[in-house]
Every structure is written in C-alpha cells, then in structure tokens.
Structure 1
C-alpha cells in the first residue's frame, strides 16, 4: 500500500527533474499512513479469515499452504511490485495528460493523486476480503469518505494549505472522469489475472472457501475436499 504512494511520488520527482517542489501537501502525506489507509488494514487483518474453524479442524492439510509458501513467496512479491508499478503509472499519467493543456496548478493534481491512491488502496484491499461485515464495510468506504473530507479541510484552512485547489478542480466533470479512468485502468489487469488464476488454477484454500460459500453446513460435513499434504510430499 505504501509502495503505491511512494512510486507516484517518485515519478513526480523524476518528472520535475528532481526539484524540491511537491504536488502533495505535507499533511496529506502524513495522514496517508495514519488515517487514510491504516485503519482498514488493521481491521481487515483482525476480522477477516479465509476459512471457518470447522473446515480447518476437519481438513488440517489446509495449513500446508503456509509451509509450501503458497500465500507469500518471491514470485508473488515481484508480481505485486509490477502490479503496483503499473497502478502508480495509471495514477500519475492519466491526470497528467488529461490536464496537460489546462492552467490548473500542481496542488490540484496532487489532490487528485491523493484521492486516487486512497481509493485504489481500499478497493485493492476489498478485493482480497473473504468475509465481509458491517465493520469492514464501514472502515473501507469510510476511509475513502474521510479522505475527501480531510483533503477539503486541508485546502480550505490557511494554516494547513489554503490553496482551495480541490474546490476548483472537483467541480469539473474531467476530475471525476479521471478518477474513474484511474480506477478502471489500474484494477482491471489485477482483477482479470486474479479471476483467471482462481478459476483455472485454484489453491486448496480457494476450493474449500468455495465449498463453504455455496454449500450448507450439513453438505460441507459430508464433503471430501482434495488437499495437498502439509509439506507437499506424496503419501507413502
């Protein structure tokens, strides 16, 4: 999550030939890690779970995914970095080309970048949630709303920024079209890859999760789920 923000900031630094100017205010940079994205990550990490206790007790082989490093390995790490780099390019380039011939200042573009990054981070987190509750809905969508409120306050209060940038740019249709274009361009490739992987090559946890989702508890108790051994070695 933090990498997306850093990649966007790095691309701006390169674009401006390593000048000391910045389009994102210091308050937005600080609140990004404290308010905008921290609470959803914490809440989802505490409340979300892949499978129920009953399924895990019935099929302890499902714990083998951790031993086999299926959930996190170097391949997935680099794929995530490539995906994050692609998303940062979408966040940075779409508003840049959309407003290339306009007269808006860097602060307006910075507000658009901040909002786009927060929306992407929370939607990216929402794509990986297995069990939704009213709390996760509140923190995911509430974080996006809170970002709009905070950016508005930062631009309106002179002691924070006082540029009133968001008030000028958000009243145009181009602003909202840019947000929509960023979300679609950044997330569609990830969504397609995620769908193809889970449809054509699902892991044990995904198969068990689908069994829980579409079958009643009584049917699940009588279902045998094919799973790999814990350490990935064949049965003797």
Structure 2
C-alpha cells in the first residue's frame, strides 16, 4: 500500500524497551487469511452501498442523467478510498495528509479541466460540464455524504473496537507512552 511509505518507524529508545513491536510484524501476526476475507467483505459492502444509495437517490430525479450518476459514484469511491487509507495507516502525519489532499486536488483538477474542455472527446454522450452540474445540486452532496458515512461505518466501528480491546500495540503504547510528533491511530 502506498500509505505504508508514510508510516514512521518506532523511535530507537522505544524499540529498545519494547522489542515486541517489531516481533509482531516480523512473524506476520498482523497478516492472517481471515484479514483477507474481512477486506473482501468490506469491499463488497462499500461497493454495494456506493452503488445502491446513489441509484436510489437519483432514480426519480428527471434532471440526473447517466453521466451525473456515474460521476457521483466515482466521487464517492475516490473519497471513500482516501478515508480508507487514513483508517488503515498506523500513524497519521503531515506527509500522509498532504499526499491525500494532493490526490484529492489532482482528481478534482483533472475532473474540472476535463469536463470544461471535452465537448466531443468520447463516443456517445458528451461529458461536458457534468461535474459542474453535479456540484451545483444539493442531492449530489447529500448523497455522497450519506454514502461515504454508511460505506465507512463498519470499518471505522470495527477498527475502534479492535483498538480499544485487542490491539497488541495499543496496550503497550498506553503503558509506556513516549511522545511522538505524529498522531497515533492505535490510541
């Protein structure tokens, strides 16, 4: 995962006092087959929520065409994947937040430039001003906000329960906390 590039190593003094922090990943205790299936189920949940909430929200709206519907789904998927990266990262710091904001602004910039300039770029319907039209509609923002919250709610809830009860790194962090310049999501 690209977000792992931004995870910071444990400070040297902490590693000396807590060598089990490296043993946890050294023996692949965090990578189990059940975690694969949990991610698959979560992906199915997120995909289903993103599609069907948008479908239900736009089904009786005469002003919405297939391109706005597709843009709404793409927008929800992009934001959901960025939030997913934040939830899966051990430490949230300036580099991670900067990379996610950069990714969001690149997505938004490309979308706005493409929609403003592409009049007949593709066969079929023209995507000209689709995002501009979608951004002006309240239903777009409400649908995406609701979709993102519902799509991420199970992962966020399970992550909170895991970190509060059985996370092996969290218990040690609470006992011997050494201050760090990053925000630790395991606490």
Alignment TM-score, normalising by the size of structure 2:
0.82
Listed as ranges, the gaps of 5+ residues in structure 2 are 181-187
1:140 and 2:100 are equivalent in the alignment: yes
Which residue number in structure 1 is paired with residue 185 of structure 2?
Answer: none
Partner Cα distance (2:174, 2:103) in 1: 29
Shift of 1:215: 4.8
Shift of 1:216: 5.1
Partner Cα distance (1:67, 1:117) in 2: 33
- For residue 33 of structure 2, the aligned residue among 54, 69, 74 is 74
Deviations 1:146-188 (A, max 9, x none): 2122112222222645422112222110000011011110111
Partner Cα distance (2:51, 2:19) in 1: 45
- For residue 156 of structure 2, the aligned residue among 191, 195, 200 is 191
1:153 and 2:113 are equivalent in the alignment: yes
Shift of 1:53: 3.0
Cα contact 2:4–2:89 (8 A) shared by 1: no
Shift of 1:121: 0.8
1:94 and 2:58 are equivalent in the alignment: no
- For residue 120 of structure 1, the aligned residue among 80, 83, 88 is 80
Partner Cα distance (1:57, 1:215) in 2: 12
Cα contact 2:82–2:100 (8 A) shared by 1: yes
- The count of aligned residue pairs is 174
Which residue number in structure 2 is paired with residue 64 of structure 1?
Answer: 23
Which residue number in structure 2 is paired with residue 169 of structure 1?
Answer: 134
Cα contact 1:86–1:186 (8 A) shared by 2: yes
1:54 and 2:19 are equivalent in the alignment: no
Alignment TM-score, normalising by the size of structure 1:
0.66
Which residue number in structure 2 is paired with residue 30 of structure 1?
Answer: none
Which residue number in structure 1 is paired with residue 184 of structure 2?
Answer: none
